[in-house]
Amino acid sequence: MPARRISFVNFKGGVGKTSIIVNVAACLAYDLGQKVLLVDCDAQSNASIWLMGIERWNVINSMPGKSVYGMFIPNLPPVSNNIIPSVVRNERGMHLIPNLDLLPATYELMDLEEEYRDGQGEPFFYRFHEHLRSTFNHYDYVLFDCPPNLFRASKCAIFASEEIYVPCNPDKLSEIGLSLLVSKIDRFHKQTVLQQQQIPTFRPAKIRGVILNDVDGRAQLEGMQRYLRLTIAKARQHHVVSEDADILGQQVRKAILAAKVVGSFLPVNLSNGSSGLKDDYLNLARFIHNTPLYKEVEHGTDRKTEQPRRTAKRAS
């Protein structure tokens, strides 16, 4: 069965997209035994630096074509050669999470937004999908970290995904622009029908839910959540939002460790000491893992169907 492919998207910067993807990826791989590929689609390269450490990342940043952007440079070896297997290592090079691989970003990914010109009949997002397609069968999950915009790199990730989660901060709930995000994704799906038809198993990505991050126990969330649920309900008519989309009950608390751990170049689940934050990421990873959008219905074929409505633990 090909990998579940999930993008973490929000226009808004600094809401926790990278923190969530790095830690959910680590929990899926380390705690839940899943084979995971994280594809860094953000030229800031925060996820790549976090998982590789700055020294290892500096080496690939100085080598053109050794990152995810390699697929947009003509005549290079397959981009799968740029995947770093078992990316999380200690100083002695020991693999700490054998199941977690990374296709890193470097600063050259900025060129996708400006300098890159589409080849004939091959728009950038189609090229991205085609270069990655062969990897989908080697993983349980392919997760895409996106920059805080809906420019080309994000569109690549969305076109290659079947599911989208939207991280946001509770104090910025009203600003997340979910309805704008929905209409932009809807438009993108409509603009790409021709390319979708060239991919036999293609299913356009649907928003599965909103993940509240950096939640302070004292925050008053009720009013904002009501407003957000209304937006989600309205957005269902676009088919860009899955039937079961909701604000997930699996929130991530505000914790100093979330920021501190970045400098150790380890995900939270490998950090020392106990913290409720570890549980939050693990609960979130478990929830995502237990609620696939599609399931096999016909043995021996690749046909899948949408799951019946799941019952998410409600955010309170």
Ligand X SMILES: Nc1ncnc2c1ncn2[C@@H]1O[C@H](COP(=O)(O)OP(=O)(O)OP(=O)(O)O)[C@@H](O)[C@H]1O
213 interacts with ligand X by CB under 6 A: yes
Amino acid letter at 240? Answer: V
| Of residues 5-24, those binding Mg ion (CB under 5 A) | 17-18
Query: Candidates 13-21, 156-164, 228-236, 264-272 — which segment interacts with ligand X by CB under 6 A?
Result: 13-21
DSSP string, 9-55: --SSTTSSHHHHHHHHHHIIIIIS---EEEEE--TT-HHHHHHH-HH
| Nearer CB in complex with Mg ion: 145/280 | 145
Token look-up 């680590």 returns: 26
Residue choice 29, 49, 84, 255 for contact with ligand X (CB under 6 A): 255
Q: Closest distance between ligand X and the C-beta of residue 262, in Å?
A: 6
What six digits make up the tokens of 156? Answer: 């690549």
Which of residues 3 and 41 has its CB atom nearest to ligand X in the complex? 41
Residue 54 or 63: the one with the smaller Cβ distance to ligand X is 54
Strand partners, 103: 39
CA 1 from chain centre, in angstroms, equals: 19
Q: Residue from 2, 64, 148, 177 that binds ligand X (CB under 6 A)?
A: 148
CB of 309 to ligand X, least distance (A): 29
Taking the least distance from each CB to Mg ion, the nearer of 18 and 48 is 18
Determine if residue 149 is left, alpha or beta; phi over 0 gives left, psi from -120 to 50 gives alpha, anything else beta: beta
Residue in this structure with the two tokens 């008519």, named with its chain if needed: 237
42/162 with CB nearer ligand X: 42
Of the pair 24, 36, the CB lying nearest ligand X is at 24
Q: From the list 214, 266, 281, 315, which residue makes contact with ligand X (rule: CB under 6 A)?
A: 214
The site partner of 123 among ligand X, Mg ion, none (C-beta below 5 to 8 Å per kind) is: none
- 14 vs 98, which CB is nearer to ligand X? 14
Pick between residue 189 and residue 278 the one whose CB is nearest to ligand X.
278
Q: Whole-number minimum distance, CB 17 to Mg ion, in Å?
A: 5
- The burial of 172, by beta-carbon neighbours within 10 Å (0-12 exposed, 13-18 middle, 19 or more buried), is given as middle
CB of 302 to ligand X, least distance (A): 33
Q: How far is the CB of 181 from ligand X (least distance, A)?
A: 14
**Among ligand X, Mg ion, none, partner that 148 touches (CB below 5 to 8 angstroms by kind):** ligand X
- The residue range among 43-51, 55-63, 219-227, 247-255 that interacts with Mg ion, by the rule CB under 5 A, is 43-51
Label residue 14 left, alpha or beta by phi (over 0 means left) and psi (-120 to 50 means alpha): left
Between the two ends of the chain, the Cα-to-Cα distance in Å is 35
| Helix ranges (DSSP H) in the chain | 17-26, 46-52, 54-61, 111-114, 124-132, 152-160, 178-191, 193-197, 222-235, 256-260, 276-290
- Cβ neighbour number for residue 11 with a 10 Å cutoff: 19
Write the binding mask 23 to 62 for ligand X: x where contact by CB under 6 A, - elsewhere: -------------------x-x-x----------------
Handedness of CA 222, 228, 231, 237 (dihedral sign): negative
DSSP letter for 260, please: H
Q: Which residues bind ligand X (CB under 6 A)?
A: 13-19, 42, 44, 46, 147-148, 213-214, 252, 254-255, 258-259, 262
